[in-house]
Structure 1
Amino acid sequence: MARVKKQICRLLLDYFDKTYTNELGDRWHTVKEVLTTPGLWQYAVLLNNFQCNSEIEKHLRMNGYHQLSHENFFTYPETLKCYINRKPKKFPSQRHQPGKIKEYYILNASSLLPVLALDVKDGESVLDMCAAPGGKSVVLLQCASPGRLDCNEPDIHRSRWLKQTLESFVPLSHTNVISTSEMDGRLIGRLHANSYDKVLVDAPCSNDRSWLFSSGSVTERISQRKVLPVIQTELLRSAIHALSPGGSVVYSTCTLSKAENSDVISNILNSCRDVIPVDLSDMVSMLLNEFTFAADVPHGLLVLPDKGKAWGPMFVSKLTKL
């Protein structure tokens, strides 16, 4: 059966043109071409170190994949093996089979960056506040062995997806430190104050890739864009309350929107006196060969989709609690 070609929502593209030409200038032309051309999209292959298979690595290399470069990148653990290809090909996914651990996970390579920025250490208590579909939790478990990993997802359907992902990638012998919940993330900080060493807030956002091909109401989408920064700020504030003093939170989105990215961090820094921003410029300089980053992004980094580096959008910001 032939695949149905994705159709671009022209009204939303017009809205993006106005917004992102203003925010990104000339860079928007290239970003727009990549976002609107699925044939240019690239996909990374994250190996599951719980189910190692040297034949998979050999097969990837034979098909033009190489391991994500991380020389001198001090927060990049040796246990994390992610393969990428300069060409926009997609390695076949593995089906979920109850009781069987998958060997690899297909993802956008920029999804690694929030987890790398979080820099989880063995034994730490970690909260993935908006965890579905579970990819970043999987990445986190490839990087370290947390003493406790709480994966939260308030949407019941997405929560099922999250649980299935964890079942597919984590053996039973390692699930004793993992829990799942379906709470409103905005309540977690009040109910579990000062409880975590690290918190990841991969916030619900106006996902530029999926929204451009959405069949939903454009008016409703644009209205959502006005509401989302309020929700994102509340989630991040809750995450800060959930942090132990000295702990760190990483905030990330998969949108280019300044209102949902840097402006959210600015709002937090202006209203929360117990956090300070962490400079991520070292991460940018270490990964320039593999990703294209926007220049002069306040309070974080922004991955821009580019030809041959079609990763993102991905905004990442890190704060430490005093």
Structure 2
Amino acid sequence: MLTPLKAKSEGKLAKQICRVVLDHFDKQYSKELGDSWNTVRNVLISPSLWQYAILFNRFNYPFELEKDLLLKGYHTLFQGSLPSYPTSVKCYLSRTPNRMPSERHQLGHLKKYYLLNAASLFPVLALELRHGESVLDLCAAPGGKSVALLQCACPGYLHCNEYDSLRVRWLRKTLESFIPPPLINVIKVSELDGREMGDAQPETFDKVLVDAPCSNDRSWLFSSDSEKAAHRIHQRNNLPVLQVELLRSAIRALRPGGLLVYSTCTLSKAENQCVISEILNSSSNMAPVDISGITRTCSQDFTFFPTDQECSLLVIPDKAKAWGPMYIPYWCTTFII
């Protein structure tokens, strides 16, 4: 029997969940994920189980906070599990659900940490950014992955693009909050249709990240407007078309021999494996890289669902490993011509 306090909390949570979306996900993901959907579902509809990783800002390093987190039992992510993990990247997490308070944006003051879903670091690390390289973050808002990229190395040029004007303002504020003025000078923020970027800047970038618009499963489940949610579901079939077009544009913007990483925060097979299969089947100059070993080395902190693609990972939320959803083809490379 629930206590009055817990019952009140559960009742409030139940009102927040959008039944239209949940019913749709139940129908789709019970087929695509099988028995795993029950656990994933329980985590997604229970924010009290969600976890938040703490990515330190190397440009205003929080030494005192680091000491405090270690005393509280936090540990660093990917410690010793990824050979190419940059030493400049420090991301802490706890095995228990909790959330640090977010820092407020203050003009002229750099924030010390960024809260994120730990799985969102996979696509950033996949790029293996090196100092001086040119990078395109094609769908950059709200800016978390751009900030994470700059924790890895100092690019010669970072182009952060976002098509939505409201999200562009969010992106600019994020960059101003974490990146010092000297480095801001190598960053360009644009408001272009990502599908046109490849023609506007052909063969320009060493590395390209396409963190594509998708069925953001976590946020969709808590849609406050049922009519808008139903419309989103109706329009959902259009997303793979957009994602393929964005990827083809990204390929055109990539230099021969460059690296391209695609990512989504949805479990949808149509937006994940099917999109990548279409790209690989239609692009003769693209090659996947086998990264199946990642699932073994990172299983302590993440739960992976088999994708039947050696070049991709699907992180699914689990108890005490509530990270994801996050799909990452790790990674597509263009042949040097």
Q: Deviations over 1:24-48 (max 9, x none)?
A: 0000000000000000000000000
Look up the equivalent residue of 2:263 and give its one-letter code: S
Give the corresponding residue for 2:160: 151
Give the whole-Å Cα distance in 2 for the aligned partners of 1:149 and 1:190: 18
Deviation at 1:23, TM superposition (A): 0.4
Q: Does 1:320 align with 2:333?
A: yes
* 1:279 equivalent among 267, 286, 290: 290
Give the corresponding residue for 1:206: 215
* 1:121 equivalent among 124, 130, 151: 130
Deviation at 1:191, TM superposition (A): 1.1
Give the whole-Å Cα distance in 2 for the aligned partners of 1:296 and 1:247: 24
Q: Does 1:269 align with 2:319?
A: no
Give the corresponding residue for 1:305: 317
Q: How many residues align?
A: 321
Structure 1: any 5+ residue segments left out of the alignment?
none
User: Counterparts in 2 of 1:72-111, with a 5 A limit?
Assistant: 72-111=81-120
Q: State percent identity of aligned pairs.
A: 58
Deviation at 1:131, TM superposition (A): 0.2
Give the corresponding residue for 2:241: 230
Give the corresponding residue for 1:42: 51
Q: Does 1:136 align with 2:145?
A: yes
Give the whole-Å Cα distance in 1 for the aligned partners of 2:148 and 2:308: 25
Give the corresponding residue for 1:246: 257
Report which stretch shifted further, 118-127 or 274-283. 274-283
Q: Does 1:162 align with 2:171?
A: yes
- Give the secondary-structure state (helix, strand or coil) at the position aligned to 2:16: coil
Give the corresponding residue for 1:56: 65
Give the whole-Å Cα distance in 2 for the aligned partners of 1:79 and 1:277: 27
Segments of 4+ moved more than 3 angstroms? 2-6
Contact 2:273/2:307 (<8 A) preserved:
no
- Give the secondary-structure state (helix, strand or coil) at the position aligned to 1:179: strand
User: Counterparts in 2 of 1:285-300, with a 5 A limit?
Assistant: 285-298=296-309, 299-300=311-312
Report which stretch shifted further, 100-109 or 271-280. 271-280
Give the whole-Å Cα distance in 2 for the aligned partners of 1:250 and 1:284: 17
Look up the equivalent residue of 2:333 and give its one-letter code: T
Look up the equivalent residue of 1:321 and give its one-letter code: T
Give the whole-Å Cα distance in 2 for the aligned partners of 1:266 and 1:64: 41
Report which stretch shifted further, 264-273 or 277-286. 277-286
Q: Does 1:197 align with 2:210?
A: no
- Give the secondary-structure state (helix, strand or coil) at the position aligned to 1:150: strand
Deviation at 1:72, TM superposition (A): 4.5
Give the whole-Å Cα distance in 2 for the aligned partners of 1:300 and 1:116: 14
- Give the secondary-structure state (helix, strand or coil) at the position aligned to 1:276: strand
Contact 2:211/2:263 (<8 A) preserved:
yes
* 1:8 equivalent among 17, 35, 38: 17
Q: TM-score, normalised by structure 2?
A: 0.93
Give the whole-Å Cα distance in 2 for the aligned partners of 1:119 and 1:69: 14
Give the whole-Å Cα distance in 2 for the aligned partners of 1:301 and 1:120: 20
Give the whole-Å Cα distance in 2 for the aligned partners of 1:190 and 1:173: 30
Give the whole-Å Cα distance in 2 for the aligned partners of 1:179 and 1:132: 13
Give the whole-Å Cα distance in 2 for the aligned partners of 1:102 and 1:282: 35
Report which stretch shifted further, 33-42 or 11-20. 11-20
- Give the secondary-structure state (helix, strand or coil) at the position aligned to 2:209: strand
Give the corresponding residue for 2:5: none
Q: Deviations over 1:196-215 (max 9, x none)?
A: 00000000000000000102
Would the alpha carbon gap of residues 235 and 58 (structure 1) be closer, same or farther in structure 2, given more than 3 Å must change?
same
Look up the equivalent residue of 1:226 and give its one-letter code: N
Look up the equivalent residue of 1:212 and give its one-letter code: L
Structure 2: any 5+ residue segments left out of the alignment?
1-7
